[in-house]
Amino acid sequence: MRLLVTGGAGFIGSNLVRHLLAAEADVEIVVLDALTYAGNVESLTDVSSDERYRFVRGDICDPEIVQEVMTGIDIVFHLAAESHVDRSIQAGMPFVRTNVMGTQVLLAAALEEGVGRFVQVSTDEVYGELPWFAPGDPDGRRHRFTEDTPLSPRSPYSASKAGGDHLALAYHATHGMDVVVTRCSNNYGPYQFPEKLIPLMITKALEDRSLPVYGDGLNVRDWIHVDDHCRGLVAAAGSGKAGQVYNFGGEEERTNLDVVTEVLRALDKPAGRIEHVTDRLGHDRRYAVDTTKALQELGWSPSVAFPAGLRETVAWYIDNASWWRR
């Protein structure tokens, strides 16, 4: 089986490549990555000598290179994306270009080549914002995103991802293309570029710097370990129904302030390093997903508890300072 992983030198992509190579003996993987600021081929150093793996540097908006790498592919895992909300607020065009136009280029090539399945990897942020409930509040479980929740993105990033999702599902409806869309909650784990909350807080704490927290820090996110997400993507590729959407979450809601506090505790650093800063524009108050459909149709459920996963993640950043200080 030949697989194409776009964005395979990024955080989730590189973890997915390792997962696939470890789990599947009879597999060939082509990674297509433009190596923008968050992509790092060093994230794949441990598999670089594997004959089943090939790296191609290229832009998913380039039809020629996309057509070249798409030849003979059975399944596409589309993870290439501009993904940082803060950057999208400053400049939205790169997000529209990559997340919408790039997805269109890939879909057109996949259709022409007769690819067996296209997995569009997306985010729970396309659903918008949920009513705020404290983590652990039973009422909160009744207010989570399901796959039937109407899309209502509230940032340039999430709007561009929603656009890509709509395109992918439109290719299924119009052309009968085998498309599955996945939407996950906040990921964490090794090889995440230190602009997202957890690696940013870890690296700043390791350098004894202040840890900036937006607003009151009570924004709630559901955290999923990247290994659980990768298992979900493989399950969706293998067992998902064409034209369907599947949510993946960790069942681990935390306020941002709680997460930062846990990072400091894991590093034995003082809570006084937390610095509350002006809130981000349009900062969504709460995200959480209902994963019932993934359990019932894919047999998937999260397995990594947040406290253990966070400790492992902190240890990884301690042991791999040369990677994040590059």
pLDDT for position 210? 96
pLDDT for position 12? 98
Which tens digit of pLDDT belongs to each residue from 40-91? 999 999 999 999 999 999 999 999 999 999 999 999 999 999 999 999 999 9
Of 53, 127, 157, 317, which is the active-site residue? 157
Query: Would you say the pTM of this structure is higher than 0.95?
Result: yes
pLDDT for position 326? 82
**Superfamily name and number for 2-188+226-251+288-303:** NAD(P)-binding Rossmann-like Domain (3.40.50.720)
Of 125, 178, 228, 262, which is the active-site residue? 125
What residues of the chain score a pLDDT lower than 70?
none
Instruction: Mark whether 124 is an active-site residue.
Output: yes
Whether 275 and 222 have beta carbons less than 8 Å apart is answered as no
| Burial bucket for residue 166 (CB in 10 Å: 0-12, 13-18, 19+) | middle
What are φ and ψ of residue 320, in 5° steps?
A: -125, 45
CA-to-CA distance for 168 and 325, rounded, in angstroms?
A: 36
Instruction: Mark whether 157 is an active-site residue.
Output: yes
- Radius of gyration of the chain from Cα atoms? 19
pLDDT for position 25? 82
Of 82, 124, 253, 284, which is the active-site residue? 124
pLDDT for position 179? 98
Look at strands 211-214 and 75-78 and give their pairing. Answer: unpaired
CB atoms within 10 A of CB 252: 24
- Sketch the domain layout of the chain as residue ranges: 2-188+226-251+288-303
